[in-house]
Amino acid sequence: MKRNIAALVLFLLLILVSAGQLWLLGRTTERLTAIISECEKSVNSDSNDLDERLSELAGYWEKYYRTASFLTRSDSLNDMAADVSRLRSMKDGGELAEELRSLRTRAELILDEQIPHPESVF
């Protein structure tokens, strides 16, 4: 009986951990996309706080990268890390908005890959 109880507790823990990981990734992605959206707004409105927004993004990126790489196996993360480091240099060109959009899309895709849709399970 002890074995069954231990297995049951472990099973429930696994469910909690798996669901918890997805929730954590969701929360981190949501925050990252919110910051990216703020950056996009600043770019589109030619606002003075663009530098501040990009610094916030670069700062939060570290946390997102650590969380995402712990939870998923995604080849995009390294490319995204390289792109984040180049964002400031894109400020003067016209590519910044596009790059931010691309970052957001990739972050959302990484999260979407972890959601158990029937097509991803089967």
115 is an interface residue for other proteins by CB under 8 A? no
Q: Which member of 45, 47, 55, 69 binds other proteins (CB under 8 A)?
A: 69
For residue 88, give both structure tokens: 């400031």
Q: Which stretch binds other proteins (CB under 8 A): 4-12, 52-60, 80-88, 105-113?
A: 4-12
Residues from 14 through 53 that contact other proteins (CB under 8 A): 14, 17-18, 21
Q: Is 82 in the site for other proteins (CB under 8 A)?
A: no
CB–CB of 28/67 below 8 Å?
yes
Query: In this chain, which of 3, 44, 48, 122 binds other proteins, going by CB under 8 A?
Result: 3
Q: CA nearest 32: which of 62, 52, 71?
A: 62
Q: Which of 8, 16, 19, 109 binds other proteins (CB under 8 A)?
A: 8
In degrees, rounded to 5, the angle at the alpha carbon of residue 60 between the alpha carbons of residues 57 and 63 is 150
Is 55 or 69 the residue whose CB approaches other proteins more closely? 69
Residue among 24, 71, 81, 90 that touches other proteins (CB under 8 A): 71
Residue from 86, 96, 98 nearest 46 by CA: 96
Q: Are 84 and 61 in contact (CB under 8 A)?
A: yes
10 touches other proteins (CB under 8 A): yes
User: What is the nearest approach in angstroms of other proteins to the Cβ of residue 107?
Assistant: 17
Q: Give the residue among 60, 54, 65 at the shortest CA–CA distance from 25.
A: 65
Beta-carbon count within 10 A of 95 CB: 14
